[in-house]
């Protein structure tokens, strides 16, 4: 198989000044492949060195780095150790900006490291005064604003467990999540702004309180400057009235593996799984990724377009631990004719800019050329995740954003609150590829028979234990659901559910979720292989493909959203089939191509092949509240064309 072309290489100066290079040289290695091999063969020594690299301070030292009496499901990292996660996030001080916030309506706020620490301390004292203690759950139904970070740090400083959803979730979706974890405290806002419209949240909060009786106090941020109706909420109090000014933050040390966050699976196939992540594992894994893989330092201004309902919010917040300025945006990423985030990149002099792959492809489709319209000279790295970044979008970023920028496509997930593969400041960027496998992650591609393969598509697995594996699932004391989710397919090996390929250059190509893989005639096809070809066509905005059971086999059905109501006539269908056939195989060519006005997606923007497949087959979709636009599923019901050959 021919290598994908190199689109970018770091300068010698950038390479040698990177933290990754300095770490590699300190260990006596000359290449990343050697460093990676050592890291997976010496897992305990690697993570012990990361304690030093990340400046992690234990209040109580560990009995050992890794205790693993059986397979990786038995692994315990830093058993006996204690630390404080928020102390590490807040360890930098001074007048430098810690958080810069911008809203869709043009608002801007800035908090210094000193101001951030003071505000966290005030809210923590307020929580302590109402009886919040170690192990209590504190929930956030919040926009992506500084108060959300402050509330999280205040809660976790007491040893409480943080969990959050963005305010665009439907009420049933929020109850499906928070209702399982019985939070004691709810942080919320009176509303939020999206796509030019002011949305009220308090009516939904009232319903939330009726359905989750465990909530004792409701702290309201006057995001839309109203604050009206707070007194009618159970335990309702305004943010400014809740905090108790305190000169010094008093953090409660917790065990390394004490619960820090409760995250949620998408919930599109049932009630969301409540994934519990530990304080120490989250911290050390994020420090590894920020310092080594992303080369983030105090000089950086880091932005990722996310809501507080996606793991990238948790990942972004941890950049404060290295002293970087974290930049937040709340609102539609397509405001101001799709230029609002690029305008922010220029004005805030962002050095690291992240977003979902679909955001970058949408920018490309709209004909926006950010590098021509905005001064992006400070930008050194573009991060992309959430779905597959198509090779053509790599081309676009180098053509229309900057020729000298590291495009780091990264892949992991909520399940591990981190990455299996991603960026590397020492390595070239190859078209359509993730640059490298993450340090100390023994990532492999398995065939269906459980054999390791290279340059073949298969299941992404991880064969060794790592600190950010979940502690478990909430309300799963026997860990039966946890084991079934990741370790049932290949016993003793983490099966992540991605369909991918390792290249001979040790990069990775992701083809989509393995449970959405198409299987016509017994040949496995990743859906992104189809999407990347069809979405080259200017007339097509986006696509979704499923396998429809038909005549004892499976046939590929492709749904397309056309630009500007361009008709999907026979000529257009022929063009779609031709571009797929020319660049893939005849097996990839859809049996049916059908136009739809929109495609359903999760709150975090991911398209939902399984939900569409269920609707086409007349099967129920168990949790439509997990979707941002559940009404879009109606476009896939009872399609006459799918009832015939």
Task: Express each pLDDT in 301-329 by its tens digit.
Answer: 999 999 999 999 999 999 999 999 999 99
Tell me, yes or no, whether 450 lies in a domain: no
Q: Is 120 part of any domain?
A: yes
462 within a domain of the structure (yes/no) = no
Measured CA to CA, the distance from residue 24 to residue 248 in angstroms comes to 38
Residue 486 has pLDDT above 80, yes or no: yes
Intra-chain end-to-end CA distance of the chain, in Å: 36
- Buried-exposed string 354-388: b where 16+ CB fall within 10 A, e elsewhere: bbbbbbbbbbbbeebebbeebebeebbbbbbbbbb
Q: Residue range 333-362: average pLDDT?
A: 97
d(CA 149, CA 152): 5
DSSP assignment letter at 113:
H
Ordered DSSP codes for 319-337: GGGGTPEEEEEES-TTHHH
Domain around 604: 517-643
Q: How many other C-beta atoms are found inside a 10 Å radius of the C-beta of residue 567? A: 10
Asked whether residue 627 is assigned to any structural domain, the reply reads yes
| pLDDT score recorded for residue 557 | 97
Q: What is the pLDDT of residues 175-201, one digit of tens each?
A: 999 999 999 999 999 999 999 999 999
pLDDT over 80 (residue 429): yes
Closest CA to 467 of 315, 282, 288, 263: 282
* Residue 606 forms part of a structural domain: yes
Q: What is the pLDDT of residues 51-91, one digit of tens each?
A: 999 999 999 999 999 999 999 999 999 999 999 999 999 99
Q: Is residue 242 part of a domain?
A: yes
> Does 317 reside within a domain?
no
pLDDT in tens, 587-619: 899 999 999 999 999 888 889 999 999 999 999
Q: Which of these three, 232, 255, 278, is where a domain ends? A: 255
Kindly indicate the confidence band of residue 519, based on its pLDDT and cuts at 50, 70 and 90.
confident
pLDDT of residue 520: 87
Query: Helix count (H) and strand count (E) of the chain?
Result: 21, 33
Question: pLDDT for 363-374, tens place per residue?
Answer: 999 999 999 999
Please identify, among 197, 231, 255, the residue that sits at the C-terminal boundary of a domain: 255
> Of the candidates 255, 283, 298, which is a domain's last residue?
255
CATH number of the domain that residue 190 is part of: 3.40.50.980
In Å, how far are 333, 375, 389, 531, 629 from 355, measured between CA atoms? 9, 19, 11, 19, 20
Q: Is 303 inside a domain boundary?
A: no
So what's the pLDDT on residue 443? 98
Distance separating alpha carbons of residues 223 and 195, to the nearest angstrom: 16
Residue 135 has pLDDT above 90, yes or no: yes
Residues 427 and 31: beta-carbon distance below 8 Å: no
In Å, what is the CA distance from 357 to each residue of 249, 389, 392, 424, 607? 39, 5, 11, 18, 12
- 501, 509 Cβ separation under 8 angstroms: yes
**In the block, residue with structure tokens 């997606």:** 601
For 468, residues 6+ apart whose C-beta sits below 8 A from its C-beta are: 277, 278, 281, 282, 284, 285, 416, 417, 418
Instruction: For 264-275, write each residue's pLDDT tens digit.
Output: 988 766 788 999
- CA-to-CA distance for 165 and 263, rounded, in angstroms? 9
Is residue 227's pLDDT more than 70? no
Q: How many domains does the structure of the chain reveal?
A: 2
CA 444 distance to own-chain centroid? 21
Cβ atoms 440, 43 nearer than 8 A:
yes
Q: CATH code at 589?
A: 3.30.300.30
The Cα 152–Cα 157 span in angstroms is 8
């Amino acid at each position: 198989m021919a290598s994908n072309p190199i689109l970018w290489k770091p300068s010698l100066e950038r390479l040698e000044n990177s933290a990754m290079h300095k770490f590699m040289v300190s260990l006596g290695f000359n290449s990343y492949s050697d460093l990676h091999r050592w890291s997976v063969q010496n897992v305990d020594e690697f993570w012990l060195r990361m304690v030093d690299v990340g400046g992690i301070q234990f209040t109580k030292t560990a009995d050992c780095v890794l205790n693993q009496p059986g397979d990786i499901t038995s692994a315990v990292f830093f058993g006996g150790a204690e630390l404080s996660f928020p102390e590490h996030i807040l360890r930098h001080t001074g007048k430098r900006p810690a958080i810069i916030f911008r809203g869709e309506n043009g608002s801007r706020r800035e908090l210094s490291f000193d101001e951030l620490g003071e505000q966290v301390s005030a809210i923590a004292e307020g929580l302590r005064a109402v009886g919040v203690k170690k192990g209590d759950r504190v929930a956030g139904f919040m926009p992506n604003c500084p108060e959300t970070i402050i509330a999280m740090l205040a809660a976790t400083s007491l040893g409480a467990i943080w969990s959050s959803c963005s305010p665009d979730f439907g009420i049933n979706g929020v109850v499906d999540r928070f209702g399982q974890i019985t939070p004691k405290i709810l942080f919320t806002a009176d509303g939020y702004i999206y796509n030019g419209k002011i949305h009220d949240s308090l009516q939904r909060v009232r319903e939330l309180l009726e359905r989750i009786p465990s909530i004792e106090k409701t702290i309201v941020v006057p995001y839309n400057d109203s604050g009206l109706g707070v007194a009618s909420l159970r335990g309702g109090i305004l943010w400014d009235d809740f905090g108790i000014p305190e000169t010094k933050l008093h953090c409660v040390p917790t065990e390394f593996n004490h619960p820090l966050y409760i995250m949620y699976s998408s919930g599109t196939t049932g009630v969301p799984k409540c994934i519990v992540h530990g304080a120490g594992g989250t911290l050390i894994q994020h420090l590894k990724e920020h310092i080594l893989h992303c080369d983030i330092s105090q000089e950086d201004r880091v932005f990722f377009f996310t809501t507080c309902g996606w793991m990238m919010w948790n990942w972004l917040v941890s950049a404060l631990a290295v002293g970087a300025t974290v930049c937040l945006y709340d609102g539609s990423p397509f405001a101001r004719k799709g230029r609002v985030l690029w305008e922010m990149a220029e004005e805030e002099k962002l050095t690291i800019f992240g977003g979902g792959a679909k955001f970058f492809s949408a920018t490309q489709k709209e004909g926006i050329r950010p590098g021509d319209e905005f001064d992006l000279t400070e930008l050194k790295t573009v991060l992309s995740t959430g779905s597959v970044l198509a090779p053509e979008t790599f081309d676009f970023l180098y053509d229309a954003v900057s020729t000298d920028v590291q495009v780091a496509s990264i892949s992991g997930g909520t399940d591990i609150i981190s990455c299996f593969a991603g960026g590397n400041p020492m390595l070239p960027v190859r078209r359509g590829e993730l640059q490298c496998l993450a340090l100390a992650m023994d990532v492999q591609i398995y065939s269906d028979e459980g054999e390791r393969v290279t340059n073949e598509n298969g299941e992404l697995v991880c064969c060794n234990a790592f600190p950010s594996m979940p502690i478990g699932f909430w309300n799963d004391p026997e860990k039966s659901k946890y084991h079934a989710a990741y370790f049932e397919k290949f016993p003793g090996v983490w099966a992540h559910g991605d369909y991918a390929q390792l290249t001979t250059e040790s990069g990775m190509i992701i083809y989509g979720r393995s449970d959405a893989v198409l299987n016509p005639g017994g040949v496995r096809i990743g859906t992104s292989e189809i999407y990347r070809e069809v979405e080259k066509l200017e007339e097509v905005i986006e696509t979704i493909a499923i396998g429809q059971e038909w005549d004892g086999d499976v046939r590929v059905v492709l749904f397309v959203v056309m630009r500007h109501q361009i008709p999907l006539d026979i000529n257009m269908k022929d063009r779609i089939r031709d571009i797929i056939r020319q660049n893939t195989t005849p097996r990839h060519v859809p049996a049916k191509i059908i136009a739809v006005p929109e495609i359903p997606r999760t709150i975090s923007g991911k398209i939902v092949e399984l939900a569409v497949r269920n609707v086409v087959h007349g099967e129920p979709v168990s949790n439509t509240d997990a979707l941002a636009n559940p009404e879009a599923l109606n476009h896939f019901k009872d399609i006459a064309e799918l009832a015939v050959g």
